[in-house]
């Protein structure tokens, strides 16, 4: 009974969030305008926030909105943008967009490529979510015409070129700046953050199905797809080995030799055992493990990031055994990672000098708040999906029941504060749309696990 009312309230939020352009629904707002907004751009449609909305629309048979969204974002991407000697790469997609009325009274779409957002960083996840959503749309509707349009094909080629082009890198993981994905403020995640690697792998996994340009294929396309295939395998092996941490691996790292030269070396990334933080030693239970937040030469960020781990499970980036151990970790460390509101964004929070240096003393990201260890209901749907996929409906249901008790009563906050997420976030927005859609989508997934088939190679 409670659940029915809560779901009704979530559906109302979704309906009221629909954004129109020239009479067509093209997206959903980040938050309803009724409450004072925590940030002005919450009146915009964020690419990543639209993903759970899109999923729900597809389940409801309203695929037109998703199609309109995919087309709209594509047109925004193609607008040329030059900033004094620096051109944003073709293929990069905006973090968000809004509809404005110009002086002649006609509607105009305005995109934000990071130049207006607080973090001032071009989002890297948007283009990846766009391709993944295109794949979900294609699977769900059977409409292959959209993905095969020349402008869709060329956009996918641009995105692939951008992600696969040679750089100064020696590892198969993708090098990106801080704040370029869901965590869009400085949080010490520059380099090779797990979330981006999981999304990148998701894209490489589906690109063959989507990039359908008719025969004969151009030389460029054949070579691009070949590079994508090789990179996919290399990325898979790399993440499974170098990002994985469990007690066995922690013991290896603890006893690592360093400064090894040549191909025989074992500690190839030259990780110094002294960099193992104290908290991790007692935190990892037996028969559990996770993919660490970031890896590069001489650097292992041991923090646990939920989204990257959950997407790794969903896209089969982690092995079956690793996925099982990640879910075991959630179960054993329930208070830390789920607590009073699913799901913790990062564990643990950064405090003291580390917080000062890495966030630039960001008051919004104080320890155990917002992106620095807050609990985000928007992360519930990937948790529920990953748990179902790993055969752990029991803990998916437990997390869902925890959320359903509070969200409507609390007016759909964006995030919660505190070690276990008991407090509504100090600067949290209300009626946040992906909080509501995440609950709706979790409900649908629990009712019908076969919906997981829509995700790239989910089952």
Residue 338 interacts with ligand GLC (CB under 6 A): yes or no:
no
63 vs 141: CA distance, rounded Å: 7
Region of 46-54, 300-308, 315-323, 382-390 interacting with ligand GLC (CB under 6 A): 46-54
217 vs 20, 151, 248, 274, 454, CA distance in Å?
A: 38, 16, 47, 52, 27
Residue 195 interacts with ligand GLC (CB under 6 A): yes or no:
no
Q: How far is the CB of 182 from ligand GLC (least distance, A)?
A: 4
Region of 42-50, 72-80, 161-169, 301-309 interacting with ligand GLC (CB under 6 A): 42-50
What percent of the residues of the chain are helix, what percent strand, and what percent coil, each to the nearest 5? 50, 10, 40
Burial 210-221 (b: 16+ CB within 10 A, else e): bbeeeeeeeeee
Residue 98 interacts with ligand GLC (CB under 6 A): yes or no:
no
Residue 301 interacts with ligand GLC (CB under 6 A): yes or no:
no
Q: Tell me which residue of 73, 66, 72 sits closest to 22, measured CA to CA.
A: 72
Q: How far is the CB of 313 from ligand GLC (least distance, A)?
A: 20
The 7-36 contact track toward ligand GLC, x by CB under 6 A, reads -----------------------x------
Do 90 and 169 form a contact (C-beta atoms < 8 A)?
no
Q: How far is the CB of 261 from ligand GLC (least distance, A)?
A: 42
Residue 312 interacts with ligand GLC (CB under 6 A): yes or no:
no
Q: What SS3 class is residue 364?
A: helix
Residue 416 interacts with ligand GLC (CB under 6 A): yes or no:
no
Residue 73 interacts with ligand GLC (CB under 6 A): yes or no:
no
Residue 326 interacts with ligand GLC (CB under 6 A): yes or no:
no
Residue 184 interacts with ligand GLC (CB under 6 A): yes or no:
yes
Region of 44-52, 291-299, 399-407, 418-426 interacting with ligand GLC (CB under 6 A): 44-52
Residue 344 interacts with ligand GLC (CB under 6 A): yes or no:
no
Would you give the DSSP letter of residue 269?
A: T
Q: Give the phi and the psi of residue 263 in degrees, each rounded to 5.
A: -70, -20
Measured in whole angstroms, how far is the alpha carbon of residue 182 from the centre of its chain? 6
Q: How far is the CB of 38 from ligand GLC (least distance, A)?
A: 8
Element (DSSP H or E) covering residue 29: none
Q: How far is the CB of 242 from ligand GLC (least distance, A)?
A: 26
Element (DSSP H or E) covering residue 443: helix 433-447
End-to-end C-alpha distance for the chain, whole angstroms: 31
Query: Residue 103: exposed, middle, or buried by beta-carbon count in 10 A (0-12, 13-18, 19+)?
Result: exposed
Residue 48 interacts with ligand GLC (CB under 6 A): yes or no:
yes
Region of 41-49, 84-92, 317-325, 352-360 interacting with ligand GLC (CB under 6 A): 41-49
Residue 441 interacts with ligand GLC (CB under 6 A): yes or no:
no
Tell me whether residue 194 or residue 245 sits nearer to ligand GLC (CB atom): 194
Element (DSSP H or E) covering residue 303: none
417 vs 237: CA distance, rounded Å: 36
Looking only at residues 163 through 182 of this chain, which bind ligand GLC when binding is defined by CB under 6 A? 182
Burial 397-412 (b: 16+ CB within 10 A, else e): ebbbebbbebbbeebb
Residue 46 interacts with ligand GLC (CB under 6 A): yes or no:
yes
Tell me whether residue 246 or residue 414 sits nearer to ligand GLC (CB atom): 414
Tell me whether residue 122 or residue 182 sits nearer to ligand GLC (CB atom): 182
Contact residues: ligand GLC, CB under 6 A = 30, 46, 48-49, 182, 184, 371
């Amino acid at each position: 009974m409670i659940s029915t009312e809560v779901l009704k309230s979530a559906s109302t939020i979704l309906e009221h969030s629909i954004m129109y352009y020239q009479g067509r629904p093209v997206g959903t707002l980040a938050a309803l305008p009724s409450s004072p907004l925590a940030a002005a751009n919450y009146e915009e449609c964020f690419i990543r926030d639209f993903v759970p909305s899109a999923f729900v629309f597809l389940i409801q048979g309203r695929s037109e909105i998703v199609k309109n969204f995919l087309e709209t974002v594509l047109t925004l991407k193609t607008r040329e943008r030059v900033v004094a000697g620096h051109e944003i790469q073709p293929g990069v997609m905006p973090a968000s967009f809004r509809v404005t009325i110009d002086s002649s009274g006609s509607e105009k779409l305005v995109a934000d490529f990071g130049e207006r957002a607080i973090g001032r960083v071009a989002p890297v996840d948007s283009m990846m979510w766009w391709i993944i959503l295109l794949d979900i749309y294609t699977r769900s509707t059977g409409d292959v015409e959209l993905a095969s349009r020349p402008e869709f094909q060329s956009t996918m080629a641009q995105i692939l070129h951008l992600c696969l082009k040679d750089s100064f890198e020696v590892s198969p993981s993708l090098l990106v700046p801080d704040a370029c994905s869901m965590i869009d403020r400085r949080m010490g995640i520059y380099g090779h953050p797990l979330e981006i690697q999981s999304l990148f792998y998701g894209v490489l996994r589906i690109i063959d199905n989507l990039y359908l340009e008719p025969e004969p294929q151009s030389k460029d396309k054949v070579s691009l797809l070949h590079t994508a295939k090789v990179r996919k395998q290399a990325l898979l092996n790399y993440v499974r080995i170098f990002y994985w941490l469990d007690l066995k691996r922690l013991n290896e790292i603890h006893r690592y030799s360093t400064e090894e030269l040549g191909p025989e070396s074992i500690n190839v990334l030259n990780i110094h055992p002294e960099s193992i933080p104290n908290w991790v030693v007692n935190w990892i239970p037996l028969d559990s493990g996770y993919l660490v937040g970031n890896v590069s030469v001489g650097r292992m960020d041991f923090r646990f990031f939920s989204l990257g781990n959950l997407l790794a499970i969903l896209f089969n980036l982690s092995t079956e055994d690793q996925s099982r151990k990640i879910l075991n970790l959630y179960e054993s460390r329930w208070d830390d990672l789920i607590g009073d509101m699913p799901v913790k964004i990062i564990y643990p929070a950064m405090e003291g000098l580390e917080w000062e240096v890495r966030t630039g003393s960001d008051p919004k990201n104080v320890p155990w708040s917002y992106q620095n260890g807050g609990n985000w209901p928007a992360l519930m749907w990937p948790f529920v999906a990953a748990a179902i996929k790993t055969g752990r409906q029991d803990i998916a249901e437990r997390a869902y029941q925890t959320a359903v008790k509070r969200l409507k009563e609390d007016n759909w906050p964006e995030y919660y504060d505190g070690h276990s997420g008991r407090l509504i976030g100090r600067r949290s927005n209300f009626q946040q749309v992906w909080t509501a859609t995440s609950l709706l989508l979790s409900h649908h997934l629990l009712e019908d696990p076969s919906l997981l088939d829509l995700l790239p190679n989910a089952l």
